[in-house]
Amino acid sequence: MKKIVVMCVATVAFASCGGNAEGVTIDEQNAMNAAYDLSYELATAVVEAKNYEEFKSAREALESYEEAFREQIGGEEYLIFLEETNAVLNEM
Amino acid sequence: MKKIINILALAVVAIAVTSCGSHTAVTTPMRDAQQIAYLAETVTSEAELRQVEKLAAEMEHTYRTSFNGAKAREFKRLVEPILNEAGDRRDMYREAEEWLKGQQTLLHSNLDDLDRAWSMELGSAEEEWAKIEAKAVEALALVDEASEIEARKEQLAMDIVEAGYPESMLNELGELEDALEAKASEIEAVAKESNIIILAWQLQHGEDICVLMTPEEEAEVADIEPLAVEDVAK
């Protein structure tokens, strides 16, 4: 019984730790290309949103990937993701 | 006999006390410096640098107390450039970290600005334009105030030199610098408010905010004589 309770608690804790990055996985082998491509795609979607709802959904996607890059990859690739995203957003 | 035993016991205690200090094992200055160099290569943070510096200082202390001053000096001479290099590396990593944090802050501030612009309730173009104009007037007034402070600051800086750097005047100069910085932040905030309105209009209407001039404004513009080409060239 105790084991089951512990397992349930662990599952709930694990699920809630996922946050925004839940479901987003970055391919470590191709992280550099992904940093360039995804930052451009996601930031462009934010900039080109046609209404508030579209903006909110594009922002959520962008922030999920930002979190995924920060937590899964880090280092130079994460910095590139940030810099490229800011470059697109600042063009507005 | 008892006296001799007592003296021996004291000697043993004295040796034990001196060897109980923070003596770190040392080999030769060159080999130990190599060990420090090996550890220093991995330094990326302040804490790591402090650890390597602590070990080097302990080794130097051991050389000084257990061997002689010459070995300690030799070890210090070898280790000093290594620690300096590690310090430079720590600075480089610190700068990179600060840059990264700056980019993170910028990203979220950009997204927050866009969010504000999208969710802002806008009135008519004339109403919004009036707000932008009011912000411009506010910003100009702040710029005037900042120029005044700047002039006072420059005058004070000259007076300080003549007066021989008295503390009271230096404090006043510091206060003026703080006031100038605060004024710059205020100007930035007002300009940002204005930019958010412009951005909000752009996002929500798909075009730049545009207001037709009133007949009085048109007359004012018509009164302005266009500059001749030669005037522009001057």
The 10s digit of each residue's pLDDT in B65-111 is 888 788 999 999 999 999 999 999 999 999 999 999 999 999 999 99
The predicted-structure confidence for B155-193, as pLDDT tens digits, reads as follows: 999 999 999 999 999 999 999 999 999 999 999 999 999
With an 8 Å Cβ cutoff, are B114 and A46 in contact? yes
- The rounded Cα A41 to chain-centroid distance in angstroms is 13
With an 8 Å Cβ cutoff, are B103 and A86 in contact? yes
ipTM score? 0.77
**How far, in Å, CA of B135 to CA of B111, rounded?**
23
Residue pair A35/A69 in contact by the 8 Å Cβ criterion: yes
Residue B25 has pLDDT above 60, yes or no: yes
**How far, in Å, CA of B233 to CA of B227, rounded?**
10
Quote the Cα angle for B22-B26-B27, to 5°: 170
Spatial neighbors of B55 by CB under 8 A, at least 6 apart, are B24, B36, B39
* Chain B interface test: which of A63, A70, A86 (most B C-beta within 10 Å): A86
Closest chain A residue to B195, measured at CA = A92
Spatial neighbors of B193 by CB under 8 A, at least 6 apart, are B135
> Looking at beta carbons, which residues of chain B come within 8 Å of A83?
103
Q: B32 to each of A68, B79, B119, B233, how far by Cα in Å? A: 43, 9, 64, 72
The predicted-structure confidence for B221-233, as pLDDT tens digits, reads as follows: 677 666 555 555 5
> What is the amino acid identity at position A11?
T
With an 8 Å Cβ cutoff, are B111 and A83 in contact? no
**How far, in Å, CA of B78 to CA of B56, rounded?**
11
**How far, in Å, CA of A65 to CA of A86, rounded?**
14
